[in-house]
Amino acid sequence: MMGEDRSGSDPGMSPVDYDAELQLLDQVLRTAYDIQRRDKVLDIGCGAGQTTREAARMAPEGAALGIDLSATMIDRARALARSEGIGNVTFLHGDAQTYPFLSENFDLVVSRFGTMFFQDPMAAFANVRHALRPGGRLVMMTWQGHEQNEWSLAIEKALGGLSDAPVPEAADPFSLADPAKVEGILEGAGFTDVFFTALDRPIYWGQDVTAALQWIRGFMCTRAVLERLDTAMAQVALGRLRDTLASHASGDGVWFNSRAWIVEARRG
C-alpha cells in the first residue's frame, strides 16, 4: 500500500509546498481550532510552521510552540516567523512523543497530519495529555483510509502496485484512519469527549504535470518504490504516473480528491 509520507521531501527543491497542497483542508481545520486570544498552543509536526504562525496570530495575548523532527523545517519555520514579525511564536526541534513538556502548560494541542507516525501512539498521546491543562483540547487532522483517498490509490496504481510489502504501523500514514481504534487510543491515554468530523476536499499537487511529478517524486513512499526498480521499469512507472497526473490537470492546477478526519478530544 502506498502512503503519503513526505518526511524525505525538500520543499526548497519543489515549486509546490505542503501548505499549498492542503490549502482547502486548512480552511476547515482553522475553524475547528477555535483558538482564543490568550490561548497557549502546541503544534505537533509543525513542519515549516504555517499552522503554528497562524495559531500565534489568533492568540495575540497567548503564545504558540511548534515542534518537529526535522531540523531543516524548524530552521525554515524560525526564519519565516522572523520575516513576518511574529513575536509570540517559538519552534523546537524535537520528538513530541517523548519530549518533556511542562505539565499542564497548554490550552490547546493541534496537529495537521503530524500524529500518524507515532511509534507508540498510546504513550505518545499520554505525553501530549501531560502537556495540556485539565479540560484542554486536542484537535488533529488525520487521513481516512487508503481506499477512501483518490491520491493514494492513484499513486499505487501508477506505480504498479509494487509496494506490496506490509507497512510498519509506525510508518503508515493511515494508521489513525479507524475512528474506533483512534477513540480507544485516546481514551486509553486519558482523553475524553472524542469526536470525529469527516472532510472531503481536494488537495493540490502543482500548477501543471511537471510540477506535480516533481512534488510526488519527493515523497518517501514514491522514492522507495522507484529505487527498487531497474532504470527501464522506473521510467515505465514514471510514465504511468505522469499520465495519471495529466488526467487530473486543469486550468487551475493538478488536484486529487482526499478524505480526512478532524479529531477533537479533551484532557480528562
Distances (CA, A) of 246 to 109, 147, 158, 194, 209: 38, 21, 12, 40, 6
Report if residue 104 sits inside a domain. yes
Report if residue 1 sits inside a domain. no
* Percent of the chain clearing pLDDT 90 (strictly above): 78
Report if residue 2 sits inside a domain. no
pLDDT of 119 above 90: yes
4 vs 64, which has greater pLDDT? 64
> Domain containing 83: what range?
11-267
Among 115, 53, 66, CA closest to 92: 66
Report if residue 60 sits inside a domain. yes
Over the stretch 148-199, which tens digit does the pLDDT of each residue have?
999 999 988 888 754 444 444 446 899 999 999 999 999 999 999 999 999 9
Among 93, 90, 50, CA closest to 69: 93
Report if residue 103 sits inside a domain. yes
Instruction: Give how many domains the chain has, as a whole number.
Output: 1
- What pLDDT was estimated at residue 15? 60
Q: What is the CATH number of the domain that holds 44?
A: 3.40.50.150
Q: Which residue has the cell 522507484?
A: 226
